[in-house]
Amino acid sequence: MSRRAVDALFQALYLLTDIRFILRETAPVHELDDEQKVRAGKAIEKLKKQVTILEEELS
Amino acid sequence: MKCTADIDTRDVEELYINIDPIQAGGRLTVDAQKAAIAYSDGYSVCDNCRKPFRLDYIDKPPIADFHRDCAEWLNMDVVRLVPGARRGFQAVVSSIVEKGDPALVTALSHYTEFASLEQAGADIHEIPKDEHNHITAENAAARIEDVTRETGKTPSILFVEHVDYQYGNIHEVAGIAKVAHQYDIPVLLNGAYSVGIMPVDGKALGVDFVIGSGHKSMAAPAPSGLVATTDEYADIVFRTTQVKGDITGRTFGIKEVEMMGCTLMGVTAVGLVASFPAVKERVLHWDHEVKNSNTVADALCAVEGTLVESDMPREHTLTRINTVDSFNKVAEIHKKRGYFLSHSLKKNGIIGVIPGSTRVWKYNTYGLTDAQIGIVCEAFQDIARENKLNVS
């Protein structure tokens, strides 16, 4: 059992959901203001870390 | 983009501003989307179901807490989850209306209100709307008198919409409930367009039942909704099973007859629960939603020949608009005919107006950001100008 991989999977899905909501609140032009850019940037950085964990655990 | 081999990805909320009249309040919150990911399997909320084995007793996820908090939030005594407002109507009617009983709905009632009464064999009568498309206490009183005289019985129930689906108008509920109670008629509030988007206080309104729609106004997956009632009616509508198998002798604990045991056992329940904190918060900002609704209504009324058929100024985000003398004039000569409006809106990043509608149609601005409200206003006026309509 890889609890670490499962946690990383869900965390990644939740971070993607945060990004999905930035796309929703900025539709249809998706021009992000400064605050939204910071939120998106943080979510993407955290997402990269979760993907790295998945690579480590599953490869 | 495909979701599966045969199913498209639904990405309209990410790509467009959606002003569909029935979809606005049911868009999930970010927390509900996350909960939906984790609880997507069938009986997902039942992992920790223990004796007495009923949905409203489940502590993890916090469904039991939700039931208590939601009743308090609505200022009612007891809440149960149901698969949509219509199933709430059905549960109440099945409990208190007998075959042949007169029952009152309104000239603005939804078909599911009629259907729940038809299923029970009720003798259905409508309270007329007034010239402003309002259901009033005066008309309710007159109709109660008429129906009682004609049928020889007092109606068993009176349905009233807090906000109707045709005009998005707010009705005189407290006055109607007061009148109905003078005749000992219980009052059911259809809160499909109010519970979850605007403040609702059941006791202040004086109603006996509050019905809410999860997928219409509580940011929850479909089908979901709730029935809230008072202690006076809780034991009737939420009565527990008394049946016993004649061969096996089996009995069925505290399952509630009208709920058919448990109701929402997966993503629907967890979606409602997950959205609830945000829903409680968002109703506090109803004034801002109404302001945005008026901004769009004013922008449309600036297009010569356009009329808002709902109350003006707007008191709700659902609006009925008449563009017979504006956009429909364009449709008469446009190569896309009536489809030009929805087509042009889509080109501007806006969906939700029924394709082909250019006469009388509805839209809902609930939940849009201020920037999106600006885009909607600008799009309607730009489309008008492009088609030689005057914009003041």
Q: Tell me: the pLDDT tens digits for B255-282?
A: 999 999 999 999 999 999 999 999 999 9
Token pair recorded at residue B333:
């000569």
Over chain B, what is the mean pLDDT? 98
Residue B5 DSSP class: S
Span B155-206, pLDDT tens digits: 999 999 999 999 999 999 999 999 999 999 999 999 999 999 999 999 999 9
Task: Give the per-residue pLDDT at B41.
Answer: 98
pLDDT of res. B65: 98
CA distance B348 to chain A (A): 8
Of A10, A14, A24, the CB nearest to B13: A24
In which residue are the tokens 């219409």 written?
B216
Quick check: B74 and B127 in contact, CB under 8 A?
no
Pairing relationship of beta strands B187-190 and B158-161 according to DSSP bridges: parallel
Is A34 part of the contact surface with chain B (CB cutoff 8 Å)?
no
Structure-block tokens of residue A15: 């971070």
Q: Give Dmax over CA atoms of chain B in angstroms.
A: 78
Q: pLDDT tens digits for B355-381?
A: 999 999 999 999 999 999 999 999 999
Contact B38 A10 (CB under 8 A): yes
B351 → chain A, closest CA residue: A28
Q: State the alpha helices, DSSP H only, in chain B.
A: 12-15, 30-38, 63-73, 85-96, 111-119, 137-151, 173-182, 202-205, 214-217, 231-237, 267-282, 286-301, 327-333, 340-347, 370-386
**Beta-carbon separation of A17 and B14 below 8 A:** no
Q: What would the pLDDT profile of B87-135 be if each residue is shown by its tens digit? A: 999 999 999 999 999 999 999 999 999 999 999 999 999 999 999 999 9
Inspect the interface and report whether the beta carbons of A27 and B15 lie closer than 8 Å: yes
Mean pLDDT calculated for residue range B149-158: 98
pTM across the whole model: 0.97
**Separation CA B216–CA B69 (nearest Å):** 20
Question: Using the beta-carbon criterion (under 8 Å), do A25 and B369 form an inter-chain contact?
Answer: yes
Amino acid at B316: H
End-to-end CA distance of chain B: 41
Bridge-partner residues for B351, per DSSP?
A: B18
End-to-end CA distance of chain A: 14
Contact A28 B17 (CB under 8 A): yes
Q: Is B215 exposed, middle or buried (0-12, 13-18, 19+ CB in 10 A)?
A: buried
| Nearest-neighbour CA in chain A from B275: distance (Å) | 14
pLDDT tens figures, B26-81: 999 999 999 999 999 999 999 999 999 999 999 999 999 999 999 999 999 999 99
Considering only CB atoms, B349 lies closest to which of A14, A17, A29, namely A29
pLDDT tens, position by position, A18-32: 999 999 999 999 999
- The reported pLDDT for the residue numbered A1 is 73
Query: What's the CA gap between B376 and A27, in Å, rounded?
Result: 11
- B14 with A27: Cβ contact below 8 A: yes
Instruction: State how far residue A47 is from chain B, nearest Cα, in angstroms.
Output: 15
Distance CA B301, CA B290 (A): 16
